[in-house]
Amino acid sequence: MAEETQKAPAPQKPPAAPKAPAAPEAPAAPAAKMPERPPDAKENFRYIIRLAATDLAGARTVAYALTNVPGVGIRIAETIADLAGIPRTERIGNLTDEQVEKIQEILGNLGELVPPWMLNRQHDLDSGVDLHIYATDVELRLRDDINRMKMIRCYRGIRHEQGQKVRGQRTRSNGRTGLTVGVVKKTAIAAAKAAEKEEGGKKEKKE
């Protein structure tokens, strides 16, 4: 009789390790909201107006939108709107291309249209003319003026080089630089000096 061969049981596989819970997905970034269209917007309304190398929000009024141009304050902005014949409260996004070009032209010739006391650069050192600088010229002229003061070694130029305050402010308690930071009382300073003297006397006696 042929004996039935018994097959060895197959080795059992170890149980699979439980899967780690999936990390929660990061919340999606909220979509950028479109600017709301003002209720008094006209058909040719534009959300962004490019003027003097600056993007101006079309929903703002002419007077306040122009103040985003470097070198233009509220008084100059209102003056430009009056010279251009545009209402100060009109939204700048409602203006036509011709009106925007007129504002740009007035801004460029402001030195000839307003009294000198309204300008921000009177008696220019290079030309001797009363000018009103705006947009990128503000930063360029400021850098040139600081470099000129450094070159001629005047007090303000030296203070600029040292990174110190320029206009006569106190520096004992504010604007302090260097390793010593904080307030050191006079009594603490006197005590430290006295301790140093005592240590010096003890060393002399030992010798």
User: Per residue in 113-152, pLDDT tens?
Assistant: 999 999 999 999 888 999 999 999 999 999 999 999 999 9
Domains with residue ranges and CATH for the chain? 48-116 (1.10.8.50), 135-162 (no CATH)
Q: 15: part of which helix (H) or strand (E)?
A: none
Main-chain dihedrals φ then ψ at residue 39, nearest 5 degrees: -65, -25
Residue with the two structure tokens 């780690």: 20
Other Cβ atoms less than 10 A from the Cβ of 149: the count is 18
Q: Quick one: average pLDDT of 161-190? A: 81
pTM over 0.75: no
Average pLDDT, the chain: 85
Q: Which of 144, 141, 163, 140 is nearest to 152 (CA)?
A: 144
User: Per residue in 75-89, pLDDT tens?
Assistant: 999 999 999 999 999
Hey, CA dihedral for 153, 157, 163, 166, is it positive or negative?
Answer: positive
The 8-class DSSP code of residue 54 comes to E
- Burial readout 116-131 (b: 16 or more C-beta within 10 A, e: otherwise): eebbbbeeeeeeeebb
Main-chain dihedrals φ then ψ at residue 51, nearest 5 degrees: -145, 130
For residues 133 and 70, give the distance between their C-alpha atoms in angstroms, rounded to a whole number: 9
